[in-house]
Each structure stands twice: as structure tokens, then as C-alpha cells.
């Protein structure tokens, strides 16, 4: 039994009809994320056994919504999860090596589901989950300047183009961190990434060593520096070894506590969160996902 959560606002939503032709014979319930007022209730009504599967047919925002709904279901009853990458960037699907081609992605749904980590994020009166990456600080400002027009014009380079726009006006955040007991105080920083998946903002490798099945979150802190330092980080990021840069702190941990002045805003799986997170914890193997078993 399958429930498909699709999203008429996702980048490749026009291909949902093709997906229907592949899945309709599986007695499938379809829920449009942008129409539903209570995704949790609808999922619980249609898929409430560990033998059922909830498929997120959309981008990272849709994956995020499904993960949060599934985490409200007791672990022993939690359905497995599949992903059909019908979004624009589909960063988490990329980490799980799920192909963009719909018929190939549907074939992956038949593979055995593997327990995948998710991350719990907490702040004042706020608790939620994400699958891929929480990006805070100036990354959020880059996301803000990334208009649809800029994305269409610059494609895969739109994030670099957005970073160049933000460069002259970067905010410096003074942060205190506790990474599994290792304490850092008053670090002047530009950005904090807390990663379960490897890529963000359109397949940019911001956490190349992250694995969603290792029981750890990858913390990447980009320290405050000069414009030259930032250009070096971006250039090394494109070449793939930026974790070695002097301006970068990299840790793999189970939990992170964070305080920032000024308060640091975050995006979770590409969507803005309105409250400041203060704690991140990996929840190992929380959701069984159909994926390429070699990941
Ligand atoms: N939980 C949610 N409820 C309602 N709408 C959502 C939710 N999450 C995301 N959206 C909105 O749905 C739209 C599409 O999101 P989605 O992330 O699935 O596709 P995308 O943006 O094309 O893909 P990607 O994030 O991979 O680039 C966005 O406008 C997003 O703001």
C-alpha cells in the first residue's frame, strides 16, 4: 500500500501524471502537499503500518514535510519512505543516489528500505526534523537573493552568483558551540552548516563527507575572514577540498548546541525556519528509506 505526497508547487510537478501511470496499479492514495491542511492526519489515515510506504514526490521541501509527518508515528508503526525527485534541486535524493528519471526512481521503491538518520532541531517552543541540511547565517541571505530569475539564468552556478551578491555585506555572527562536549567560544563566523546529506542549494557539495546512515551529523563552520578568504573557500568548494581551508571548522558528532549573537536564521532542507535553533541531535536510523543500497 502506497501513499504519494506530491506537491503542485515542486519544480517538476508537471511530470506527476507520468508518475501516476507508473504507480496507480499499487492502490495508491495521492495527497497534494500544497492543498492539504493536515498532512499528518492524512498520512495516518492512509498509511499506518510498517508495511506501507509513503512516497515524497517532490523536492527537498516535500521530503522535509514527509519526514516530519512520519516522525509523529511511533517507530514500530512507522511506514517506510520513498522519494521520487520531482523538485528543482532534489539534494537529498542525490545523496541517496535516487535517479532523476521517474521510471528508474520508481524501480528503487521496490528495493529493501534501509534505516536512514534524520536530525531533530530544537529551539524555544520549536521542535522539528530534517533530512538533508540545516544552513545558517549568510547562507540564508544567499538563499534570499536567489530569485527564480537568477536560478533560470545561472543554473548550477546560481548559488555562487548569489554568494557574490551577498559578499560586500556579510554579517559576522559571534557563536558559542558545544559539539558532543567539545566547546568553542566566541567564534566570529559567517555560516554554520549541520548536515546529514552531502549537498545543498542545487547539488553544491557543502558536506562532502556526510553520510545519512552513519549515525552522525557533519558540522561545517565557516569562520569570519576577508573577501579573499571567502573566494578561496568557494573556489576550494568547487574543487572539493574546502574542509581543509584554515577558515573552516569541521566536526562529525551526534549533537550540537549553538548560541549566536546576533541570532542566526536557518533554512532546513531549503525552507526558512522562523525560530532560532539552539540544539541539533541526530536520530539514528529513524526512517527506513528505499534507496540505492550502495550509499
Ligand atoms: N511542508 C510544506 N507545506 C507546504 N508547502 C511546502 C512545504 N515545504 C515546501 N513547500 C513549498 O512547496 C514548493 C515546492 O517545494 P519542493 O521543495 O518540493 O520543490 P522545489 O523547491 O522545486 O525543490 P528543491 O527544494 O529540491 O529545489 C515550495 O514553494 C515550497 O516553499
Task: Name the domain boundary from 110, 138, 158.
Answer: 110
Tell me the per-residue pLDDT of 240-275, one tens digit each, with 9 for 90 and over.
577 888 889 999 999 999 999 999 999 999 888 988
Compute the distance from residue 9 Cα to the ligand 1 centre, in Å: 6
Tell me: do 78 and 213 sit in the same domain: no
Compute the distance from residue 245 Cα to the ligand 1 centre, in Å: 33
Q: Give me the number of domains the chain comprises.
A: 2
Which has more confidence, 99 or 89?
99
pLDDT range class, residue 97, cuts 50, 70, 90: very high
For residue 233, what pLDDT is reported? 72
Tell me: do 146 and 278 sit in the same domain: yes
The CATH number given to whatever domain includes residue 202 is 2.60.200.40
Residue 236 lies in a domain: yes
The CATH number given to whatever domain includes residue 101 is 3.40.50.10330
Q: Which of 10-14, 73-77, 228-232, 290-294 has the lowest mean pLDDT?
A: 228-232
Tell me: do 139 and 280 sit in the same domain: yes
Which has more confidence, 238 or 193?
193
Tell me the per-residue pLDDT of 20-75, one tens digit each, with 9 for 90 and over.
999 877 778 999 999 999 999 999 998 778 899 999 999 999 999 999 999 999 99
- Residue with the smallest CA separation from ligand 1 atom 17 is 61
User: Which of 10, 12, 64 is the best mutation target for the ligand 1 pocket, counting ligand atoms within 8 Å of the beta carbon and taking the most?
Assistant: 10
Residue 116 lies in a domain: no
For residue 142, what pLDDT is reported? 81
φ and ψ at residue 257, rounded to 5 degrees? -110, 140
Tell me: do 163 and 272 sit in the same domain: yes
Tell me: do 169 and 279 sit in the same domain: yes
Catalytic residues, which ones? 271
Tell me: do 204 and 244 sit in the same domain: yes
pLDDT range class, residue 161, cuts 50, 70, 90: confident
CA distance 104 to 133: 25
65 lines ligand 1 (CB under 6 A): yes
DSSP, residue by residue, 48-108: -STT-EEEEEESHHHHHHHHHHHTTS-GGGPPEEEEEE-SSS-HHHHHTT--SSHHHHHHH
User: Which of 4, 5, 9, 83 is the best mutation target for the ligand 1 pocket, counting ligand atoms within 8 Å of the beta carbon and taking the most?
Assistant: 9
Tell me the per-residue pLDDT of 195-209, one tens digit each, with 9 for 90 and over.
999 998 878 888 999
Residue 248 lies in a domain: yes
Tell me: do 106 and 140 sit in the same domain: no
φ and ψ at residue 232, rounded to 5 degrees? -65, -45
Residue 226 lies in a domain: yes
Residue 295 lies in a domain: no
Tell me: do 188 and 105 sit in the same domain: no
- Residue with the smallest CA separation from ligand 1 atom 30 is 61
Tell me: do 250 and 219 sit in the same domain: yes
pLDDT above 90 covers what percent of the chain? 67
Say what the pTM is.
Answer: 0.92
Tell me: do 234 and 167 sit in the same domain: yes
Compute the distance from residue 187 Cα to the ligand 1 centre, in Å: 33
Range of the domain at 265: 129-284
Q: What atom in ligand 1 is closest to the CA of residue 58? A: 18
Tell me: do 164 and 267 sit in the same domain: yes
- Residue with the smallest CA separation from ligand 1 atom 1 is 65
281 lines ligand 1 (CB under 6 A): no
Residue 122 lies in a domain: no
Residue 292 lies in a domain: no
62 lines ligand 1 (CB under 6 A): yes
88 lines ligand 1 (CB under 6 A): yes
> What number is the ipTM of this complex?
0.94
Compute the distance from residue 86 Cα to the ligand 1 centre, in Å: 10
- For the chain, the C-alpha Rg in angstroms (whole number) is 19
Which distant-in-sequence residues (6+ apart) come within 8 Å of 181 by Cβ? none
Tell me: do 148 and 256 sit in the same domain: yes
Query: Contact at 8 Å (CB) between 93 and 85?
Result: yes
Residue 205 lies in a domain: yes
Tell me the per-residue pLDDT of 7-19, one tens digit each, with 9 for 90 and over.
998 888 999 999 9
Amino acid at each position: 500500500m502506497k501513499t504519494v505526497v506530491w506537491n503542485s508547487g515542486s519544480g517538476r510537478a508537471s511530470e506527476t501524471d507520468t508518475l501516476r501511470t507508473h504507480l496507480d496499479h499499487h492502490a495508491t492514495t495521492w495527497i497534494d502537499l500544497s492543498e492539504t491542511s493536515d498532512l499528518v492526519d492524512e498520512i495516518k489515515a492512509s498509511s499506518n503500518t510498517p508495511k506501507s510506504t509513503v512516497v515524497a514526490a517532490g523536492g527537498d521541501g516535500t521530503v522535509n514535510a514527509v519526514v516530519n509527518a512520519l516522525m509523529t508515528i511511533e517507530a514500530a508503526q512507522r511506514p517506510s519512505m520513498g522519494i521520487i525527485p520531482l523538485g528543482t534541486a532534489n539534494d537529498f535524493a542525490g545523496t541517496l543516489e535516487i535517479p532523476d528519471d521517474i521510471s528508474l526512481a520508481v524501480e528503487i521503491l521496490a528495493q529493501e528500505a534501509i534505516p536512514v538518520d534524520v536530525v531533530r532541531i530544537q529551539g524555544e517552543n520549536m521542535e522539528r526534523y530534517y533530512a538533508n541540511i540545516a544552513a545558517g547565517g549568510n547562507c540564508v541571505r544567499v538563499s534570499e537573493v536567489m530569485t527564480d530569475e537568477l536560478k533560470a539564468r545561472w543554473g548550477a552556478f546560481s548559488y555562487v552568483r548569489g554568494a557574490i551578491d551577498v559578499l560586500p555585506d556579510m554579517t559576522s555572527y559571534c557563536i558559542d558551540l558545544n559539539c558532543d562536549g567539545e566547546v568553542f567560544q566566541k567564534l566570529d563566523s559567517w555560516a554554520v552548516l549541520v548536515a546529514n546529506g552531502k549537498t545543498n542549494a542545487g547539488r553544491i557539495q557543502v558536506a562532502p563527507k556526510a553520510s545519512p546512515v552513519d549515525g552522525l551529523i557533519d558540522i561545517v563552520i565557516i569562520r569570519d575572514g576577508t573577501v579573499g578568504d571567502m573566494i578561496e573557500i568557494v573556489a576550494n568548494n568547487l574543487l572539493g577540498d574546502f574542509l581543509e581551508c584554515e577558515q573552516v571548522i569541521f566536526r562529525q558528532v551526534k549533537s550540537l548546541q549553538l548560541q549566536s549573537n546576533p541570532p542566526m536564521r536557518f533554512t532546513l532542507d531549503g525552507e526558512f525556519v522562523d525560530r532560532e535553533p539552539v540544539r541539533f541531535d541526530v536520530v539514528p536510523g529513524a526512517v527506513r528509506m528505499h534507496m540505492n543500497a550502495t550509499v
